[in-house]
Structure 1
């Protein structure tokens, strides 16, 4: 389905203000580009009179006023031909407007500012209009940014409006210490002299993270993980205002009233950041800008700004397409299908039911002896089902068409945080015979533990080192009264870890052999502020129907060696697939690469080298690099959406679009909604971000519509849970692998080679 917002369909709106130019061209000068130092010098010299920007043909020097001198070769710039330059003029005009409004800038090149007016402080509002004592030194302010874009959902240029919250603790660490607040281990900010002030700068702008507090030494803080000096005066340092730190300070200062204040603060933040609040603020900013009339951006060129796209008839509405949720297949012939994963599994069984080899898997269960009774009852329900329950009445064995499960219990004497006892129990379980899966019972008491102190990570290390995937279950989950949904999720992940294929997408077959490859990376750092020392490339490979084929990691490498290591890892993965699927030299090959961050030159080079090698061996090879992200400034609204609510509780997802709306924001970019009202966890959850897809310029397969539909289908393909994710499985799996690798590398005797050998075909990371 496709159309224009309106009628009985959605009323899609965006945090995007279209601009219209008063002329088709403007005059300026063009200077030959010599160096970046020359560019910086020109910007500094002409800061008050010109906009100076690098453009094709050199450096454009565009005068702002009639009396500004000409600089460079006189040139007429046509707005349509110089879109980037023209929108740079708009950006500079927005910066000047923000300063005129009386705000300070967070960056010299962005119209980003904090509204610190007392009546805008969300914490004051949460406190009922006034805050007692030192609590008034804490603030939560609205933060805005206005950024120009050459194209948006209406097909033309405009300004994107971003709304955030900024948490600030004005009390110095010295003042917090006098009030008995524990600060050890927390990161602090201070002015370390590394950031050069600029005109109209935000007063907090020079503060940077300087390290974590290791100890207090008199009037000084001794820092660890400090990129610069390891000491700073407590009176010149402030706590980094992360949300959990901020709430802890509120709790310490407000005492018994803290819970009420924090609860009300959550509501105030939602009123600003929820879909309704964001759209309201975006509309207000559009009104501020339009009140000024035409906004001059050059000597002979101005712009007018319209209300947000989708909120009025002043601008062209966005064109949208509604993607259908995928249909899932549960057999190779494609005869057994269903729109819902869980119903399909209950009705048909898993996709590979006819050829899955481990019909009687041997599973070890490691647990503290004190939990043995609870765990036995839990395992009975896991294996045989919850009687009378429609979700998990069949149990693991019948639902996944197994003949039986051979369970080996390994209880041990030791507490829930005794990592050594866990290690010995895991080693004992391995001596009992070959294992297909290990279930490890953990607890909430150990969640905060890391490295060798973490029973969970130690157990993962021991079992996975011998090629046995691990399923973690917290004892608190085993104690739950309603177990059907948790059991259903655990069963799905367990079957996948055993090597099973629960389901795939019933996708049309492409003429070419098509692989979808997620590329991620894990950076090896000694600490948060340390420079990354080495990097590991992570690849996950899927067929076009979403079937997970394998994952691979490169060896840890220095940055200059990383492209070669990534190429080696990619080549090994492709070779394994082509041998497995018997590719022929006459075949056509299509490789679709998903990356979560902008593709770096090193990664692009590795992929291009791989493709060039394949091109010489197959009839046709085409490829697409697609950056997929939810870390961006775009927000989509649906003014026709009334949200959803259960039998009890408030409405959630008001003005939030349903999943599957796709809107182009350029020739090679697409927004796709991936979290609808039903996917929002809490009524106070902010407006979910759409998934943004951006096609890399090196791609030879450039059908962004096809690639967007495919990525959307892949958000429903996780074998970790029964419902869709906000990320395609290519990205989700790479993230899971990177996270676990980062934690496991700090465990004694962990051998990362296990995941590229014994566990290569396993879904050990689910």
Structure 2
């Protein structure tokens, strides 16, 4: 069967371009592009700026140089994208970005929301094309992709007039080139004036008609809820299915080929007039091969090349040695959602009868016995309410002389907007971890899924719960070696209070496994800034390897 990439080889012209070279400075480069971008192309090359002209004139004298394109693939690829951007802009298509170039379709038939919510709906889900260059087998190629993007045309005043609550939502302004720049989050509303708190904490005033809501998934879903109420979930599911069909292989390939054919048939020039030419994608089937599937080891040394099959036939690897059977589980949830959460937890533990892979639930799939569950409710969604419920759960178990085997904590998608100190999600993790209780969070929005979709979500959640309680679902079959192999997981996170504000990157070791996938140590390195990472890494590695030396003799 033929195999094709969406990468189309570029024909490299045997051409030399005259250019001027000046020392690089960001302000200088930005100024050049603003003043002379219509007639010249600019590229940063190391510590210099290269200037290419469409008419043989240059805005500055600079150092004259001659560049053969067949010896400078990077410059050639940059000029190809520059030529395509100019062509699209000349058609009034308003291309966005450069690495890659993005093009949002304006055709009414390319709005996936129109058949569902109508043409007049302020949000749209439009076809989006991206164009970039890549080296494939050391040859420059034009890479084309097609997917979708949420688009929002109406300004903030439209949403104010429709009664949609803008408080706490991020807003953007539209630049001359079509790029939408983040302003901040709405912190107060007075008539048609918005008070917007910027990422640096400064507060600015903006007319609602001059800003746009960010076309985020949160704003998108919330506005559908605002306009369609109880029908929201059904509509979101229809949109998901429509996007899934659009992104199917056959449709995607047809659209990519259509754009490729357009570029092939149009005489789109580089800055000097040389035509951009691309070839059809070659069949790379001869370069492809099928990798052997890994073999997983389960209970009683049962083997399978598919995890679900192995768990069903043999059970988890630690089925006979797992020491938390009949687990004690506490559930933390909002009082007004208690009934729904209890039904959800039952499905997690007992299974979804109609599910292909999760009909037996956590208890049956991982042979846990019968769970003992107790629910602790919060009066509100505040951090203090969650703290009270969690502390009540911890006290209750301490009074009984034991410890919870697992905590299930219900949170909300909206918590993601909160600061760490005000977020019940982080509070729950912190308090339970402090008492050595593994935690599995789930959002209340997850409960709205159909049983079909919920079965897959619960299947993943159950696997995480079993592993967090110390169970080993499976190991990888590996050939014995004289030396021990270690797999060390390294993680990092960007920490910041507000979007767009200064953030700090921290790093640390998260996990250590043996070569067969067996989890070895639970202690992790300190989270440190990159400058201090080398010292922290070597320190924890030394401690870890010393422990493993003693354990494995």
Please give the TM-score of this superposition, normalised by the length of structure 2. 0.76
Deviation at 1:176, TM superposition (A): 2.6
Measured against aligned partners, the alpha-carbon deviations of 1:92-125 in whole angstroms (never above 9, x if no partner) come to 1111221233322334776433333555444445
Larger CA deviation: 529-538 vs 34-43: 34-43
CA distance in 1, matches of 2:378, 2:34: 67
Q: Which residue of 1 aligns with 2:392?
A: 424
Q: Which residue of 2 aligns with 1:531?
A: 502
Richer in helix (by share): 2
In 2 relative to 1, CA 27–231 (structure 1 residues): closer, same or farther, beyond 3 Å?
Answer: closer
* 1:209 matches 2:182: yes
CA distance in 2, matches of 1:261, 1:574: 51
Match of 1:358 among 303, 320, 323: 323
The 3-state SS of whatever aligns with 2:187 is strand
In 2 relative to 1, CA 170–324 (structure 1 residues): closer, same or farther, beyond 3 Å?
Answer: same
Match of 1:220 among 168, 178, 193: 193
CA distance in 2, matches of 1:412, 1:397: 21
CA distance in 2, matches of 1:519, 1:484: 31
Q: Which residue of 1 aligns with 2:92?
A: 102
Match of 1:326 among 277, 291, 294: 294
Match of 1:581 among 527, 543, 548: 548
CA distance in 2, matches of 1:378, 1:171: 41
CA distance in 2, matches of 1:260, 1:283: 33
CA distance in 1, matches of 2:228, 2:91: 35
CA distance in 1, matches of 2:32, 2:346: 72
Measured against aligned partners, the alpha-carbon deviations of 1:402-460 in whole angstroms (never above 9, x if no partner) come to 8x88x7665668769653234212222133224361344x568x665677887776554
Measured against aligned partners, the alpha-carbon deviations of 1:321-348 in whole angstroms (never above 9, x if no partner) come to 222321112479xx64222334434555
CA distance in 2, matches of 1:208, 1:89: 26
Q: In the alignment, is the contact (CA less than 8 A) between 1:539 and 1:570 conserved in 2?
A: no
The 3-state SS of whatever aligns with 1:468 is coil
Q: Which residue of 2 aligns with 1:173?
A: 156
* Unaligned stretches of 5+ residues in structure 1: 1-5, 584-766
Q: In the alignment, is the contact (CA less than 8 A) between 2:330 and 2:393 conserved in 1?
A: no
Q: In the alignment, is the contact (CA less than 8 A) between 1:30 and 1:60 conserved in 2?
A: yes
* 1:143 matches 2:143: no
In 2 relative to 1, CA 39–515 (structure 1 residues): closer, same or farther, beyond 3 Å?
Answer: farther
Q: Which residue of 2 aligns with 1:157?
A: 140
* 1:82 matches 2:72: yes
Deviation at 1:305, TM superposition (A): 1.6
CA distance in 1, matches of 2:222, 2:214: 12
In 2 relative to 1, CA 331–33 (structure 1 residues): closer, same or farther, beyond 3 Å?
Answer: farther
* Unaligned stretches of 5+ residues in structure 2: none
Deviation at 1:173, TM superposition (A): 2.4
Q: Which residue of 1 aligns with 2:306?
A: 340
The 3-state SS of whatever aligns with 2:11 is strand
CA distance in 2, matches of 1:447, 1:141: 25
The 3-state SS of whatever aligns with 1:321 is coil
By relative contact order (CA 8 Å, sep 6+), the higher-ranking structure is 1
Deviation at 1:287, TM superposition (A): 1.5
Deviation at 1:533, TM superposition (A): 5.1
* 1:31 matches 2:21: yes
* 1:467 matches 2:432: no
Q: In the alignment, is the contact (CA less than 8 A) between 2:407 and 2:437 conserved in 1?
A: no
RMSD: 4.9
Instruction: Give the count of matched residue pairs.
Output: 534
Match of 1:236 among 197, 210, 229: 210
